[in-house]
Amino acid sequence: MSGASGHFIHDLALVLGVAAVTGVLSRRLRQPSVLGYLAAGLIVGPHTPVPLFADPGRVHVMSEFGVILVMFGVGLELRLKTLVKVIPTVGLVGLIQLSALFWVGVSLGRLFGWGTVEALFLGASLAISSTMVVSKVFQEAKPQADLRSFVLGILILQDLAAIVLIAVMTAVARGTGLSGQAIGFTVLRLAAVLAGMVGVGWLVVPGFVRRVVRMKSPETRVVVAVGICFVFALAAEELGYSVALGAFLAGLLVAESGRAHDVEHDLVPLKDVFGAVFFVSVGMTVDPAQVWANLGPSLLVFLAVVLTQFVAVSLGGVLSGAGLRRSLHAGLALGQIGEFAFIIAGVGAAAGVVQPSLQPILVTVAVLTTFTTPVMVRHAPTIVSRVDHLLPSRLQSWLVLYEALFERLRNRPAGRRGLLRGAAGALALDTAGLVALLVGWRLLGPKVDGYLHAAWGWSEPAAAALTTAVPLLLGLPLVVGVVRSAQRLSLVTTELLFGDARGPWAVAGARAWKIALATLTVLSLGVPGAALVRPVLPFPFVLGAVAAAAAVGLVLLWRAVGAVETETRSGTGTLLDLLAQAKDALPLSAPDPGDSGFHDPPSVVPPGFPAVVQVRLTENHRAVGQTLAQLDLRARTGASVLGVHREGQEVVVPTGSEVLRAGDVLLLSGPRGAVRAAEGALLADDAGRAQLSPAAADS
């Protein structure tokens, strides 16, 4: 056996042997295996006085296999139709979250005195949460299906963004630069490479994989899948990009064969083994002395990650119509950095363009957030309930109705959704043009200023005045375009939701909807714009302007929601009066995503009023004898109890202290799934069976 191969066997045996022990200990302590693998890296690395040593260079070479196989697995889990499905639900939330974390990371890097490139790597590393940690936590916590799909949808978008970040940061690390011309060339070249590799691969890979799977040979499947993976990884490296990009594209193309589950099942052991080697290699780069020396910055980054994730995801989710319950749960679940942080930081470390303290900071933050995430998820129901109870009543009711409006908007007929996509696309293009102008002129402006002063003899004030006036003049048409596109989007959505209804509630609801949509537009366009210009602007005034505009929108929304609350009480009172006079159930309709949000003339619901479901309690229902506060329906399900009718008494706005009795009729409103869940909780009998009312069952 040659010396070189013997050294590799020695290192691999040592790495896997120690990782096996630390991984088992980590699992026994009910922590993710990643922590054990990082600890193994500290043990066999060069920075600890343990008589076990593996060569960092050789382990790093082997860790590349882990990066490639992990990224291949990410691609296998992401089909294009899955991406198309999740974007309408989580697209804006993911955009706000990614941009906010990137902005915070770059700002922290500047605060630490780092250069622009180093700050960029910190921002990119903090932007992506950990799919592995969240998946492990959800296996134990077992969240509701809608919450799980919402969080995993955000993680899918983050994984996709991570691929782009890895490609861009690879170009930055190799000295492409940050000039406007270089950035434009980098983006165009990346788009061309992606189009070429996907286009060629699409013609060959999916069909070939389907034929191989039909052979029913696990050995052949593994060899073919790994071969495709490494060929694409090599092609990406030859084109000047990270091997991770090629591996991801290979996984994406294999997934399009429709047989990704077969390939993924075969590759799990191989991926887990070399994934462990990758995390051990990360641990080997960490010097405990550096960890201690950078404890202060690490704690600051940790707090920034947890708080920014919570605020960005919660606020973005609520304004995007995800509801308070799902948004707060997601903000708590995503409060960590993920495996991509180490891959992105590794790109910078390999090129020698990042601070030596970056890896210790990321490891410290990863360890801390791995411990805090399960705690936050475990206490999420309590936190959501307390936040819900602290909100003023007008906001409680509005958030439920607002979520229901978004649900109806997402379920419009395909032809009508085309109008919505057109308006949103125009707004995005105008905003992208404005951001490109700001970034480009910020990079080119000083050169123009110097040229005017040196070549033309202009005075410094005159040159500065010109370089200030030019972007203002060029940007004015784009600003007008953004405003007009936003107005068109508001008109289109209002027409889709409220149509020609002219009832008092419809008028108040339409006004509140327009203000809420304007605030969402400011955040979903302003926060990414602020993140893009942050690396080239010394002060964070762009985000300050966005925050000020959003604050104005929230104040206006608060006032508008007051009118909605008044009309909701009036409409609920009318329904309760009719219910008191009726012998049978009122002709109400359950929420129907296919309607326009209102009801036909046979319904007694006031014009423009949201869909309402009535639930009648009987003696065998477990909710009888409990208060609405004890049931906590709004925090648990997302549905709202508008009113309660019982013989001789009507409660238009329940306080939560009312004890429910047999014969009570509750009026529920909210998104379709939330109302169903609330019905199930109310109508659960003594045996625990959840019964649905006819209205909900028919829907």
Cβ atoms of 535 and 116 within 8 Å: the answer is yes
Task: Please say if the pLDDT value at position 309 is more than 90.
Answer: yes
Report the 10 Å Cβ neighbour count for 61.
14
pLDDT at residue 539, rounded to an integer: 64
398 burial level (CB within 10 Å; 0-12, 13-18, 19+): buried
Q: Tell me, rounded to whole angstroms, the distance of Cα 420 from its chain centroid.
A: 22
Task: Please say if the pLDDT value at position 414 is more than 80.
Answer: no
Domain boundaries, the chain: 3-48+56-390, 395-567, 612-698
pLDDT at residue 638, rounded to an integer: 84
Lowest mean pLDDT among 172-176, 397-401, 688-692: 688-692
Contacts of 111 (CB under 8 A, 6+ apart): none
Q: What does the radius of gyration of the chain's CA atoms come to, in whole angstroms?
A: 28
pLDDT at residue 587, rounded to an integer: 58
> For residue 105, what pLDDT band results from cuts at 50, 70 and 90?
very high
Contacts of 286 (CB under 8 A, 6+ apart): 38, 41, 42, 45, 47, 359, 360, 363
pLDDT at residue 334, rounded to an integer: 92
pLDDT at residue 443, rounded to an integer: 61
> For residue 178, what pLDDT band results from cuts at 50, 70 and 90?
low
The token duo for 51 is 């008589």
pLDDT at residue 588, rounded to an integer: 59
Q: Find the mean pLDDT for residues 417-427.
A: 69
pLDDT at residue 637, rounded to an integer: 85
Cβ atoms of 585 and 614 within 8 Å: the answer is yes
Kindly write down the DSSP assignment for every residue of 468-512, as one continuous string. HHHHHHHHHHHHHHHHHHHHHHHHHHHHHHHTT--SHHHHHHHHH
> For residue 457, what pLDDT band results from cuts at 50, 70 and 90?
low
Tens digit of pLDDT for each residue in 110-126? 899 898 888 989 999 99
Question: How many helices (H) does the chain have, and how many strands (E)?
Answer: 26, 4
d(CA 39, CA 42): 5
pLDDT at residue 329, rounded to an integer: 92
Q: Classify 275 in phi/psi space as left (phi over 0), alpha (psi -120 to 50) or beta.
A: alpha
Phi, psi (deg, nearest 5) at residue 334: -95, 15
> For residue 187, what pLDDT band results from cuts at 50, 70 and 90?
low
Q: Find the mean pLDDT for residues 153-172.
A: 81
Task: Please say if the pLDDT value at position 686 is more than 60.
Answer: no
d(CA 37, CA 620): 54
> For residue 605, what pLDDT band results from cuts at 50, 70 and 90?
low
> For residue 311, what pLDDT band results from cuts at 50, 70 and 90?
very high
Instruction: Let me know if domain 3-48+56-390 sits in CATH 1.20.1530.20.
Output: yes
| More confident call, 207 vs 647 | 207
Q: Bridge partners of 649?
A: 646
Top mean pLDDT of 156-160, 351-355, 623-627 is at: 623-627
d(CA 394, CA 223): 60
| In the block, residue with structure tokens 């009801």 | 599
β 665-669/640-646 pair status = antiparallel
Task: Specify the pTM.
Answer: 0.79
Lowest mean pLDDT among 132-136, 300-304, 451-455, 695-699: 695-699
Tens digit of pLDDT for each residue in 517-565? 888 888 888 888 788 777 766 667 778 888 888 899 889 999 999 888 8
Q: Classify 627 in phi/psi space as left (phi over 0), alpha (psi -120 to 50) or beta.
A: beta
pLDDT at residue 464, rounded to an integer: 66
Strand blocks (E) in 489-639: 613-616
Closest by CA position to 130, among listed 362, 378, 383: 362
Kindly write down the DSSP assignment for every residue of 16-42, as one continuous string. HHHHHHHHHHHHHTT--HHHHHHHHHH
Phi, psi (deg, nearest 5) at residue 667: -100, 115
d(CA 77, CA 274): 18
Position 530, amino acid: A
Query: Rounded mean pLDDT of the chain?
Result: 79
The token duo for 120 is 């960029």
d(CA 542, CA 365): 28
∠ Cα 380 382 384 (to 5°): 65
325 burial level (CB within 10 Å; 0-12, 13-18, 19+): buried
Task: Please say if the pLDDT value at position 36 is more than 50.
Answer: yes
pLDDT at residue 693, rounded to an integer: 34
> For residue 179, what pLDDT band results from cuts at 50, 70 and 90?
low
pLDDT at residue 1, rounded to an integer: 47
Task: Please say if the pLDDT value at position 252 is more than 90.
Answer: no
Task: Please say if the pLDDT value at position 652 is more than 70.
Answer: no
Q: What's 612-698's CATH class?
A: alpha beta
Task: Please say if the pLDDT value at position 343 is more than 60.
Answer: yes
CA distances from 393 to 315, 451, 501, 568 (A): 18, 60, 25, 12
Q: Find the mean pLDDT for residues 304-327.
A: 91
